[in-house]
A and B are shown apart, each in its own frame.
Chain A
């Protein structure tokens, strides 16, 4: 069957499933809207957390990034999963025992301060919107490539779906649609990975195929990949090129950032008991690990396949997918030596890196770029985000697999967007309105406000999707850096210290936040030309600076607290209470 019809069919089926679930699990109180009534089974919560957490970045971009970074890409694998260990051991059980609705709830109560709550709300809104922008780009790419609709139409369809289940269903609706979305996305990720693993290595388990020999050759896959890459002038795939301190800090920032992300933390408020919170963190990581241990295998398979298919083949004979992605503008080819044959190698094929297409076509039918071509021999630009989506096509898999991958990518993007919208709406209706500005509102008014805030947030997210900010890739560093340097330390000290008081915590959050954002804004926005290892503080890139911001937060909070009054007795009792099992 035609790929487009198949994609419509699969996307349509999964979308109706999500809406059906949402209508069945509509929220009727703030309790159900914010935390799904607190009665979610740990395994269901584990799946929902996995879908909530694994975004378009995990599904679409991560394997592609690793594919081009090799061992350096490991920071994402370790950072994004290692954060769960912190979450499970240091945060989830205590925050569940605390038993309120939102992350600012905990910070506001523990530090007995509306200012602390307000600062937490600001961090939360900034982190969450940053994240949503990334999801919308993912939705846009999938819609424009596979459904061949205008990106704007695609974004509006996506928004409408999220609107129905997030605004009506609240946390309850989101939880059960996320369970379905997890099933869709993991199936969609595994099927092509298994196919390709069999094609390349003969081993049906991609995690093992990754370390196996290439079919009918007496050489290991990774060895072969190293050979192919070094022949072309690249570094070894399995060697690291970045400085150790930077890799160390990026991994640390991603871990602490993951543990401090509000939309993930809030999922642990939805289970009945403390022991369920612990168990569901375990289930969540297990479900996540299925994808995360497959991703590096997919990375190596797709890099090898890509080189084998493209390098030294004539443009005219390249497969359809190459031209399709070129038409969307995510691949470009500039025939530098005018031989009609594609040469791939290290370095950027042109400056600036992203292609700017003119209206003309070259003699081979390729799109002509108006960028300045570089001196090196590389003629190819390929956007890293397309590797996972193009992978099944590169490997010549049947159309239904390609359609499945498209539906999986949509599930990953929509589930994360919904989770984020919910924490934004609850922080506005609950933390800002109910707890700070208008304490007199009733439960029903609060619920209405929550729905209204969700609807407005979807509107803003939609604008991000239709006018995608060019800085999406840069702001991702921001989201993790900020979560690591503001929310994470405040939560940790709130649980593990009885001495840190409100003034200490507020100073800590603000100083961590200011330091980290100043560093990132300087290198990413004000003077991007200076963004080089020589200019960095101790050789730490903006992606890893959250770790230093986190240290600043911890140190200033502890120093200021020790110089001022300890927290009142009722706070000490609160801490004792969250530390004791039920």
Chain B
């Protein structure tokens, strides 16, 4: 079966979402919870790194993830609309 444009768009979309969710998981559940105690041994200024991720770092990562998502999706939309025309 030939893959049409919308299917290609949808796959690219899922790829972007999956990649970003991976970073979402790593920064919060990973650095903030699972490996947090380990990261706590590293100190940056007054922060233990694991503690910092749990209370501030993960939130900052989240904001960037959504911004990157907007940029990538807007590009993907443009590409898709060009190919369609």
- CB contacts under 8 Å to B, within A71-98, are 71, 74, 77-78, 81-82, 84-86, 88-90, 93
Task: Tell me how many residues of A have a C-beta within 8 Å of chain B.
Answer: 47
Would A81 and B52 be within 8 Å (CB), given that A88-B69, A89-B20 are in contact? no
User: Is the C-beta of A289 less than 8 angstroms from some C-beta in chain B?
Assistant: yes
Q: Beta-carbon contacts of A232-270 to B below 8 Å, as 1s and 0s?
A: 000000111000100110011001000000000000000
Distance of A20 Cα from B6 Cα, bound (Å): 47
Mark A residues whose CB is within 8 Å of B.
66, 71, 74, 77-78, 81-82, 84-86, 88-90, 93, 207, 210-213, 220-223, 238-240, 244, 247-248, 251-252, 255, 275, 278-279, 281-282, 285-286, 289, 292-293, 296, 576, 579-581
Q: Say whether B6 contacts A82, CB under 8 Å.
A: no
Q: Say whether B60 contacts A89, CB under 8 Å.
A: no
In the complex, number of A-B residue pairs with CB atoms less than 8 Å apart = 126
Q: Say whether B51 contacts A84, CB under 8 Å.
A: no
A85 to chain B, nearest CB (A): 5
Q: Say whether A289 contacts B63, CB under 8 Å.
A: yes
Which of A71, A84, A89, A292 contacts B54, CB < 8 Å?
Answer: A71
Which residues of chain A are near B63, meaning CB under 8 Å? Answer: 282, 285-286, 289
Q: Beta-carbon contacts of B13-46 to A below 8 Å, as 1s and 0s?
A: 1000100110010001100111011001000111
A63 to chain B, nearest CB (A): 11
Q: Say whether A84 contacts B58, CB under 8 Å.
A: no
Which of A71, A211, A238, A581 contacts B80, CB < 8 Å?
Answer: A581
B51 to chain A, nearest CB (A): 5
Which of B9, B20, B28, B80 contacts A78, CB < 8 Å?
Answer: B28
Q: Say whether B54 contacts A74, CB under 8 Å.
A: yes
Q: Say whether A579 contacts B10, CB under 8 Å.
A: yes
Q: Say whether A74 contacts B46, CB under 8 Å.
A: no
Which of A66, A238, A278, A289 contacts B59, CB < 8 Å?
Answer: A289
Which of A210, A279, A285, A579 contacts B62, CB < 8 Å?
Answer: A285
Q: Say whether A89 contacts B69, CB under 8 Å.
A: yes
Besides A213-B46, A239-B40, A296-B56, 15 new A-B residue pairs in contact (Cβ under 8 A), listed by A number: A71-B55, A74-B51, A74-B54, A77-B55, A77-B56, A82-B24, A89-B17, A89-B66, A90-B17, A211-B45, A211-B46, A211-B47, A247-B33, A248-B34, A580-B10
Which residues of chain A are near B76, meaning CB under 8 Å? Answer: 581
B57 to chain A, nearest CB (A): 9
